[in-house]
Structure 1
Amino acid sequence: MKLDNIRLLVTEFDACLSFYQETLGFKRTWGEPGGDYASFDVGDGMVLALFRKELMAEAVGTKNLPVNMQVQDNFALIFEVTDLEKTVQDIERRGGKFVTSIEDKTHWGIRAVHLRDPDGHLIEFITTLPQHKWDKSLLARDQAYK
């Protein structure tokens, strides 16, 4: 079995298409404004796709359920970058609005920052912290898995 792609089900298709292409800078490989489906090359052969939520609901028989509900996030898209500060500056310059500041997460072993796409999907950009900055409990767990 092989993961083919991650497909986000969206209500704001055109806004999300623009966000992933223009704001985050991903190369669009399929789709156009006003369409139902689009895909992006997000590096290393991975594909991120957008699909109109109402069409998937129709396909799987959930059209009668609420489209949006305010709940805690069910998932986050995580992108590892080489230079977190530069990535944030580039995205902000292109109109992206972050919901957190860059922060060392020593108990996770990363530096991280978060934003949302126009449909509210949570996106995290990370870089790995050097191990000497890791929380002691994380170091102990890491050693246990080696």
Structure 2
Amino acid sequence: MFTLYPRVLAGNYPAVFAFYEAVLPELMGCALVRGDAASGYASWDTPEGTTAFAVIQRDAFAGEVSSAPPAGGATFVVPAADAAAVDAAVALCRRHGGVLVAPARDLPGWGLRAAHLHDPDGNLLEIQTY
């Protein structure tokens, strides 16, 4: 079965690649299966072998698809088991260049705890309990 997966269009591909290479294995158990910091395209697979996430150099994509969106337009939700896992994920992301936008806080109306960070290209990561 095919599944949807996010593809980040990176203006600063090396920085965005480095960020996700550092955090995806720990946050989601994903492994890099193609690409590197200089390739312009990289993807990570789940332990089951399906693509879970990809990063592509914005200029290369925009050259092929004229309707490529502007920088920093995506939001990614990263599930965390509990409040301690949210805090650990935030710390991990910050160590690797994530910028804290809103610290972890309880959102009783939604029944969860969440924190918000930007990746190096301004995409929003929401780390939340499930």
Alpha-carbon distance between aligned partners in 1 of 2:20 and 2:124, rounded to the nearest angstrom:
13
Q: 1:14 to 1:43 in 2, by over 3 A?
A: same
Bigger radius of gyration among the two: 1
Look up the match of 1:61: 66
Equivalent of residue 49 in structure 1, options 32, 51, 54: 54
Kindly indicate whether residue 27 of structure 2 is the aligned counterpart of residue 28 of structure 1. Answer: no
- 1:42-82 CA-to-partner distances (Å, cap 9, x unmatched) read 6664511001111221112348xx955xxxx7441001012
Alignment of 1:1-146 (within 5 A): 2-22=2-22, 24-26=23-25, 27-41=31-45, 45-62=50-67, 68=71, 74-82=73-81, 83-128=85-130
Give aligned-pair identity as a percent: 28
Deviation at 1:41, TM superposition (A): 3.3
**Contact 2:115 / 2:128 at 8 angstroms: preserved in 1?**
yes
Unaligned runs of 5+ in 2: 26-30
Look up the match of 2:28: none
Aligned AA for 1:8?
V
The structure whose RCO (Cα within 8 Å, separation 6+) is larger is 2
Aligned length: 121
> CA RMSD, aligned part only?
2.6
Unaligned runs of 5+ in 1: 129-146
TM-score (norm 1): 0.69
